Structure 1
Amino acid sequence: MLVHPNLGFFHAAADTVGMPLPDAWGIGDSPYADNSGAIALGLRTVRVSKGQP
C-alpha cells in the first residue's frame, strides 16, 4: 500500500514511463499529500486547484 507522500511512488512512476526522475514533474491538488513528496525529491511541482484557495 502506498501512503502519501511515498517517495517510492515517484520512482516507480518515472520508471514505468521511462523518464529520468529529474525530468519529471509532480502534479496534484494537495500541497501535503501530493506535492511534498515531489518537492522532497527536488522535482518541480504544479498544484491543480479544484476551486479551493
Structure 2
Amino acid sequence: MLDPIYTGKAMAGLIDHARHGLLDKQSTVVFIHTGGLPAMFAFNREILASLQD
C-alpha cells in the first residue's frame, strides 16, 4: 500500500516506464521506499473504506 501523493505517483511512473519498455529487460530495478508513512494518516478514512469493500 502506497500513499497516493508521492510514493504512489513514483511507483506509477516506474510501472509506466516498464510497460513502455523504457527499462532494460536485463537490469534489476529496485524501488526503495524511504518514507511516506505520515501521509497514510491523511487518508485513513479512504484506506479503511477500501478495506471494507
**Fold conserved (TM > 0.5)?**
no
Larger strand proportion of the pair: 1
Larger Rg: 2
What's the TM-score once normalised by structure 1's chain length? Answer: 0.28
Larger helix proportion of the pair: 2
What's the TM-score once normalised by structure 2's chain length? Answer: 0.28
Pick 1 or 2: higher relative contact order, CA cutoff 8 A, min separation 6. 2
